[in-house]
Amino acid sequence: MHSIKIASLQLKVYEDKYENIERLAELVAGGAAEGADIISLPEIWNSPYQTDLFPVNAEPEQGDSWLAMSTIARKNGVYMVGGSIPELGEDGHIYNTCYVFDREGRQIGKHRKVHLFDIYAHGEQVFKESDTLTAGSSFDTFGTEWCRMAVNICFDIRFPESSRIPALAGAKVIFNPASFNMTTGPAHWELAFRQRAVENQVYMVGTAAAHDPDAGYKAYGHSIITDPWGRVLMQMDEKEGHAITEIDLDYVDEVRQRLPLLSARRTDIYDLHYSVL
């Protein structure tokens, strides 16, 4: 059995960036990653999830939050799927970006959120990431000592191509750091992760920020991992905490042999174009 232990860190997000960085280091050092191979963080873990604060907390690559994740990965000898932080790009635009680090703290992957969360739900819920963020433009996989993996971020999961493209490129595990809210979370959180896991016969790892009733944006929490058969292996409640989940990569191959969805695709009448970096 080719197994991996994933530590899902459901963090409470504070207003001060450096308090969030210190809290991250404490949780990992305090045992949240004990026995884990990979640490998975939430979407925008170093800043409140508010569009006006993204420019305030944006950092260039290799900024303080990047350095903290790299250092924590190296000191603990683990991979780090770094949720996401506001990234100040070289072009001057701000992106919602996930960095991935190996056991030596080296960056091995990067994903900029492709589908920005712009909604206007009958005036009841209005949120526009595009007010301050710029969308990414690719879905890429990254290599690990076990298999290829991938990242998409929150709203990306709503679009089937976001998971299908990495799966066709060889990913067996797809991480989705996310911040569903108290409307979309109860309605679609578990459904979305089970759906994408079944369609692509992969493990889906959703890591969320903890619910904070006093925050401007109230995250749903409920970090989750679903397996290639669509079963929920782990789901947390809304509170801050961590969970360690063991997954079996051989099960991906077993499910794909049992129910050959990917190999049965009718590529003679439809196709998706993708690239492997």
Single out the catalytic residue among 59, 129, 154, 238.
Answer: 154
Residue in this structure with the two tokens 């789901």, named with its chain if needed = 235
**Distances 272 to 114, 116, 185, 204, 263 between C-alpha atoms, Å:** 17, 21, 29, 21, 14
Single out the catalytic residue among 12, 17, 43, 98.
Answer: 43
User: Could you give phi then psi for residue 207, rounded to 5 degrees?
Assistant: -115, 125
Residue in this structure with the two tokens 């309605």, named with its chain if needed = 187
CB atoms within 10 A of CB 71: 14
Single out the catalytic residue among 113, 129, 172, 238.
Answer: 113
- Residue 126's nearest CA partner among 57, 176, 185, 183 is 183
**Distances 212 to 12, 45, 238 between C-alpha atoms, Å:** 7, 13, 9
| DSSP-derived 3-state class of residue 150 | strand
Asked if 154 is an active-site residue, the reply is yes
Q: Are the CB atoms for 202 and 174 separated by under 8 Å?
A: yes
* H/E segment holding residue 27: helix 17-27
Q: How far apart are CA 152 and CA 163, in angstroms?
A: 8
Asked if 147 is an active-site residue, the reply is no
Q: Are the CB atoms for 10 and 221 separated by under 8 Å?
A: yes
Asked if 172 is an active-site residue, the reply is no
User: Could you give phi then psi for residue 264, rounded to 5 degrees?
Assistant: -90, 5
| Enzyme catalytic residues | 43, 113, 154
